Homo-oligomer: A and B are copies of this chain.
Amino acid sequence: MKFTHFNEQNKPTMVDVSIKEPTLRIALAQAVVKLSKQAYLAVKEGTVKKGDVLAVASVAGIMGAKQTPHLIPMCHPLNLDQINIDFELNDEDNTIRVISTAKITAKTGVEMESLCACSIAALTIYDMCKSIDKSIEITDIYLLKKSGGKSGEFERKT
C-alpha cells in the first residue's frame, strides 16, 4: 500500500494535480458534540435570548474551512465556492450534530475543508460551554457524502 502523500525520498509531499481538470466537487461532513443537560439547554435557550453559541460556531467553522491549507499540511490551497454549517439539536441525548457542506470547482476535493469546518465549529461550541461543563466530548467526525472528481460519488453507509 503506497501513500500518495510521500515522494520517492519517503518525505511528505503535496500531490501534483497540475494535469487534472477542474470539476464541481461537494463534500458533506459531520461532527457531534455531547453536552451535559445543563450545557445543552444553555446553548438551546441561548440561541433564542442569551447569546447565540451556534452563530459563533458557524462563523468559526466557516473561517476555519478557509484556513484548511494552513492547518492540514498537504492540502492544496483552494478557493471555496461555498461553505455552510447546519446544526441538529437532539433533546433526547443532549447532543448537537454539526453538518458542514463545502463546494468548489477545482482540481482536487474539499473533504478536508468540510471536515475542518465541522471540527472547528464543534471545538468552538466546546470552548463556549466549557465553563459550564468540563466533560464535553466531540465524536463521530466523518465524511457523509462527496461528489465530483475521478473517484466519483461516495456516500457513507449508516
Contacts and interface: CB of A to CB of B under 8 A. Distances in A.
B131 A142 contact: no
Count copies of this chain in the complex.
Answer: 6
Give the secondary structure class of A's interface: mixed
In which size bucket is the chain A interface? 35 or more
A96 interface: no
A79 B18 CA distance: 11
Interface string A1-32: 11111110111111111100000100000000
A3 B46 contact: yes
Contact of A74 (B87, B128, B143): B128
A38 B77 CA distance: 28
Contacts of A13: 58, 62, 82-85
B137 A58 contact: no
A91 interface: no
Contact of A141 (B73, B77, B81, B139): B139
Interface string A96-132: 0000000111110001100110011011101111111
Contacts of A52: 10, 12, 52, 55
10 closest pairs, A vs B, by CB?
A6-B51, A16-B82, A18-B81, A138-B141, A1-B42, A10-B51, A11-B58, A18-B103, A77-B79, A139-B139
